[in-house]
């Protein structure tokens, strides 16, 4: 995987830059199309035998980067990829924070193959790894994380998306005395934030997209944290689609190793607009500066990289 990480970085940087003209235009469809086109073209230049297992949708719904699409040159490592050209299309179109472009990868067969549907998720950092349980009440998880981190309940911070479907959880968390950090869109970075000590985020909870859940699971795995999830099929068709993708019991809880089954994995993301971990694209005269994060599962490292892009210069600053 180390051989491919910086190829993936080039892909996410380029996809983010491709979306730049569409930031704040109100047109999320064209923003996503531009990022997707860029990502697909560059992925197909990489020496790998890749398959998209988490993508833009089913083949009849997304003409590019669909689930099951083969990418790369067809030679080299057999890789499963989870991709999101823009996690936060609405934020991009409105010129708001929390939009990124992201890739996660692992050897063939090691990433959950999941359809594009809702997923319930819970995540925490390395200190409380192994202590959370998606099947337990929120109260139990808060007390377990508090004990593992050596904190009082009123010292905990839970990051959760500001949505009506989460209001009961938010009320319960606050009722117990813990704090909430509410965000608007894009739950990949907030979930990974539980693994960054300086951010002081103890727990992530939420119901969001399954693709974003698998992407976050790779980043969290690579940093020693813990994540569990449960797919939430709404219809018989969604339930059967899960089964057709190898998920025998679609409503069962999924442990971290079922989401990502190896430490030999990689997570790469580039900021389009700013979030709690990444700066958005900046313009300095005629040069554009991107800010990215590269997480290597084998050495449990997170590297942040700024790259200056122009017609004549591509200079990386670590």
In this structure, is residue 213 part of a structural domain? Answer: yes
Contact 169, 160 (CB under 8 A): yes
Q: Are residues 104 and 174 in the same domain?
A: no
Kindly report the CATH number assigned to the domain that includes residue 77. 3.30.540.10
Last residue of a domain, one of 220, 243, 259: 259
HEC readout, the chain: CCCCHHHHHHHHHHHHHHHHHHCCCCCHHHHHHHHHHHHHHHHCCCCCEEEEEECCCCCCCCCCCCCCCEECCCCCCEEEEEEEEEECHHHHHHCCCCCEEEEEEEECCCECCCCCCEEEEEEECHHHCCCCCCCCCHHHHHHHHHHHHCCCHHHCEEEEECCHHHHHHHHHHHHCCCEEEEECCCCHHHHHHHHCHHHCCCEEEEEEEHHHHHHHHHHHHHCCCEEEEEECCCCHHHHHHHHHCCCCCCCCCECHHHHECCCCCEEEEEECCCCCCCCCCEEECCEEEEEEEEEECCCCEEEEEEEEECCCCEEEEC
Q: Are residues 67 and 17 in the same domain?
A: yes
Q: What is the pLDDT of residue 316?
A: 43
In this structure, is residue 148 part of a structural domain? Answer: yes
Q: Are residues 186 and 288 in the same domain?
A: no
Contact 156, 179 (CB under 8 A): yes
In this structure, is residue 212 part of a structural domain? Answer: yes
User: Which positions ≥6 away from 27 have C-beta within 8 Å?
Assistant: 93
Residue 135 annotated as binding site: no
Q: Are residues 129 and 255 in the same domain?
A: yes
pTM for the model: 0.92
Q: What is the pLDDT of residue 33?
A: 92
In this structure, is residue 78 part of a structural domain? Answer: yes
Q: What is the pLDDT of residue 313?
A: 45
Q: Are residues 14 and 126 in the same domain?
A: no
Q: What is the pLDDT of residue 58?
A: 58
| Domain assignment of residue 294, given as a range | 2-109+265-313
Q: Are residues 143 and 217 in the same domain?
A: yes
Q: Are residues 231 and 253 in the same domain?
A: yes
Q: What is the pLDDT of residue 308?
A: 93
In this structure, is residue 97 part of a structural domain? Answer: yes
Q: Are residues 225 and 134 in the same domain?
A: yes
In this structure, is residue 318 part of a structural domain? Answer: no
Q: Are residues 184 and 127 in the same domain?
A: yes
Between CA 276 and CA 201 the distance in angstroms is: 11
In this structure, is residue 247 part of a structural domain? Answer: yes
Kindly report the CATH number assigned to the domain that includes residue 253. 3.40.190.90
Q: What is the pLDDT of residue 56?
A: 72
Q: Looking at the 3D structure of the chain, how many domains does it have?
A: 2
Between CA 200 and CA 46 the distance in angstroms is: 37
Last residue of a domain, one of 244, 259, 274: 259
Q: What is the pLDDT of residue 311?
A: 55
Q: Are residues 134 and 252 in the same domain?
A: yes
Residue 49 annotated as binding site: no
Q: What is the pLDDT of residue 314?
A: 45
Of 119, 115, 105, nearest to 51 by C-alpha is 105
pLDDT digits (tens, 9 = 90+) for 1-11: 788 999 999 99
Contact 109, 79 (CB under 8 A): no
Q: Are residues 215 and 239 in the same domain?
A: yes
Residue 7 annotated as binding site: no
The pLDDT profile of the chain, 318 residues, written as one tens digit per residue, is 788 999 999 999 999 999 999 999 999 999 999 999 999 999 999 999 999 998 876 544 545 688 889 999 999 999 999 999 999 999 999 999 999 999 999 999 999 988 888 999 999 999 999 999 999 999 999 999 999 999 999 999 999 999 999 999 999 999 999 999 999 888 999 999 999 999 999 999 999 999 999 999 999 999 999 999 999 999 999 899 888 888 888 889 999 999 999 999 999 999 999 999 999 999 888 899 999 999 999 988 899 999 999 854 444 443
Residue 32 annotated as binding site: yes
In this structure, is residue 104 part of a structural domain? Answer: yes
Residue 69 annotated as binding site: no
Q: Are residues 230 and 130 in the same domain?
A: yes
pLDDT digits (tens, 9 = 90+) for 90-138: 999 999 999 999 999 999 999 998 888 899 999 999 999 999 999 999 9
Q: What is the pLDDT of residue 116?
A: 84
């Amino acid at each position: 995987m180390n051989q491919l990480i910086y190829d993936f970085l080039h892909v996410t940087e380029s996809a983010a830059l491709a979306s730049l003209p569409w930031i704040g235009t109100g047109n999320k469809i064209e923003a996503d199309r531009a990022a997707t086109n860029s990502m697909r073209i560059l992925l197909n230049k990489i020496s790998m035998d890749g398959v998209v297992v988490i993508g833009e949708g089913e083949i009849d719904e997304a003409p590019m980067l669909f689930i099951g699409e083969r990418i790369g040159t067809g030679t080299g490592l057999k890789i499963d990829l989870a991709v999101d050209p823009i996690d936060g299309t609405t934020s991009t179109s409105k010129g708001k924070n929390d939009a990124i472009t992201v890739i996660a990868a692992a050897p063939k067969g090691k990433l959950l193959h999941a359809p594009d549907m809702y997923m319930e998720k819970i995540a925490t950092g390395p200190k409380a790894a192994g202590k959370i349980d998606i099947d337990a009440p929120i109260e139990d998880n808060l007390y377990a994380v508090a004990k593992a981190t050596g904190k009082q309940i009123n010292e905990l911070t839970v990051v959760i998306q500001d949505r009506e479907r989460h209001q009961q959880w938010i009320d319960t968390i606050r009722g117990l005395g813990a704090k909430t950090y509410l965000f608007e869109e894009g739950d990949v970075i907030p979930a990974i934030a539980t693994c960054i000590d300086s951010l002081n985020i103890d727990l992530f909870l939420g119901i969001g997209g399954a693709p974003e859940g698998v992407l976050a699971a790779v980043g969290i795995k690579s940093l020693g944290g813990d994540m569990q999830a449960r797919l939430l099929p709404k219809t018989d068709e969604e339930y059967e689609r899960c089964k057709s993708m190898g998920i025998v019991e679609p409503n069962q809880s999924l442990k971290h190793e079922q989401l990502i089954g190896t430490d030999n994995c990689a997570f790469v993301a580039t900021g389009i607009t700013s979030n709690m971990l990444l700066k958005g694209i900046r313009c300095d005269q005629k040069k554009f500066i991107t800010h990215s994060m590269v997480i290597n599962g084998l050495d449990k490292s997170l590297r942040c990289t700024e790259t200056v892009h122009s017609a004549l210069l591509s200079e990386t600053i670590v």
